[in-house]
Amino acid sequence: MKERKKFFLSTSIVFASYIVHIYRFKKDHPPHLVGVVEEVGVKGRKAFTNYDELWEILTSSKRIMQKQKRKEVE
């Protein structure tokens, strides 16, 4: 009988909470928006001037990076 090996991929999901302040946007061109993002529990704010910058801020969380690095070390 052939022996089967089981492979498990470990994934971790980390959630972060944000406060997003949108100060200005154009009704006829929504991607042009201006605002500030605050990550709950982290000091400081990050400004954005369009959807792409907002997305970059939300996906490059310091907290997520720190937790992933800690798990790699362990």
**Domain ranges, ordered by start, for the chain:** 18-73
pLDDT digits (tens, 9 = 90+) for 42-62: 889 999 999 999 999 988 865
Coil/strand/helix, residue 65: helix
Dihedral, CA of residue 22, residue 24, residue 26 and residue 32, to nearest 10: -70
d(CA 39, CA 45): 8
User: What is the pLDDT, as a whole number, of residue 22?
Assistant: 93
> Amino acid identity, residue 67?
K
Q: Name the stretches of the chain with pLDDT < 50.
A: none
Q: Read off the DSSP letter of residue 71.
A: H
Q: How many residues does the chain have?
A: 74
